[in-house]
Amino acid sequence: MTATVSFPIDSPLGPRTATVAYERKGAGEPLLLLHGIGHHLQAWHPVSDLLAAEYDVIAVDLPGFGASGPLPPGVPYDLATVVPALGALCAALGVERPHLAGNSLGGLLALEMGRLGTARSVTALSPGGFWSEAERVYAFTALRAMRAGARALPRPALERLARSAAGRAALTGTIYARPGRRAPEAVVAETLALRGAAGFERTLAAGGSVRFAHDLPGLPVTIAWGSRDRLLPPRQGVRAKRALPGARLVRLRGCGHVPMNDDPALVARVVRQTARAAGPVEA
């Protein structure tokens, strides 16, 4: 069941309040799950139950996405604001230094949290920030096209499309390698989430100059890339490995940009391996 929490955040405009939606299940060490731009926490549903068998799993709608409220007017959606806001969310939930798993934008946020010392381990699935300029322009153009399509499509037409495998491929083939596996109701929900994402344009604007170039020594880090990622090509994983020489680079065979639905068992295994590498929590 989705819950919400409001908490104070720091911003360039001074203290403000953010309201975030989340789902929490399982028991054990905390594991924070972060989705990509235009998506919502339900992207993690295929793997969250698998992970909840071992961890206290907290899946989050990022500010301005899903059921979370937008950031207050004038507050930027950049790393310098959103990452500390996620730290404030953890504090509000009574969580300290969780394991992190993030996809796309969520992977970039997880890496930045790891850089700042607020994570026990980081699993980044096709994270942003390792693109060339041409690759960034292509990805942002594709994302804007998906958003425009989602906003232009009447809901009855969307629901009809989602009933067929071909329609689900047309709607989500950019992000899934196996879109036919996605449930029709999930495709409708995530298309509506993309349509209504208040933080979409400002997040893209803030991401235009982002390049992640920091190693995270002493922290278990896995960079995992779908072999069939059409949005951020797998060669970006090689760049990520050069930037983070201490990280493990894993190829997710047969997976697209959002691999959790394409191969839930594989993604859950990669996340567990990374978290276990951190060792037990010291008493």
Range of the domain at 77: 3-132+210-276
What was the pLDDT predicted at 278?
A: 94
Do residues 52 and 25 touch, judged by C-beta distance below 8 A? yes
Let me know if residue 111 belongs to a domain.
yes
Q: In one letter, which amino acid is 72?
A: P
Confidence of residue 115 (pLDDT cuts 50, 70, 90): very high
Nearest CA among 116, 95, 117, 115 for reference residue 33 = 95
Let me know if residue 31 belongs to a domain.
yes
Beta partners for residue 213, in sequence order? none
Confidence of residue 283 (pLDDT cuts 50, 70, 90): low
Residue 196 has pLDDT above 80, yes or no: yes
Nearest CA among 230, 233, 212 for reference residue 221 = 212
Nearest CA among 144, 147, 10 for reference residue 83 = 10
What was the pLDDT predicted at 1?
A: 81
Let me know if residue 218 belongs to a domain.
yes
Structure tokens at 154: 């009447």
Long-range contacts of 182-189 (CB under 8 A, 24+ apart): 182/261, 184/159, 186/42, 186/45, 186/261, 187/162, 188/155, 188/158, 188/159, 188/162, 189/40, 189/42
The count of structural domains within the chain is 1
Alpha helix (H) residue ranges in the chain: 45-52, 79-92, 105-115, 133-152, 155-162, 165-172, 184-196, 200-207, 235-243, 259-262, 264-276
Count of other CB atoms within 10 angstroms of residue 14: 7
Give dist(CA 55, CA 235) in Å, integer.
31
**For the residues 61-82, what does the mean pLDDT come to?**
96
Bigger pLDDT: 10 vs 122: 122
Let me know if residue 99 belongs to a domain.
yes
What was the pLDDT predicted at 50?
A: 98
Let me know if residue 139 belongs to a domain.
no
pTM strictly above 0.95:
yes
Beta partners for residue 99, in sequence order? 31, 121
CA 63 to the chain's CA centroid = 12
The CATH number for 94's domain is 3.40.50.1820
Let me know if residue 163 belongs to a domain.
no
Let me know if residue 155 belongs to a domain.
no
Confidence of residue 138 (pLDDT cuts 50, 70, 90): very high
- The model's pLDDT over 96-113, given as tens digits with 9 standing for 90+, comes to 999 999 999 999 999 999
Q: Quickly list DSSP for 63-80.
A: TTSTTSPPPPTT---SHH
- The model's pLDDT over 240-253, given as tens digits with 9 standing for 90+, comes to 999 999 999 999 99
The DSSP code for 47 is H
Q: Phi and psi dihedrals of 278, rounded to 5?
A: -75, -15
Nearest CA among 205, 248, 239 for reference residue 64 = 205
Let me know if residue 182 belongs to a domain.
no
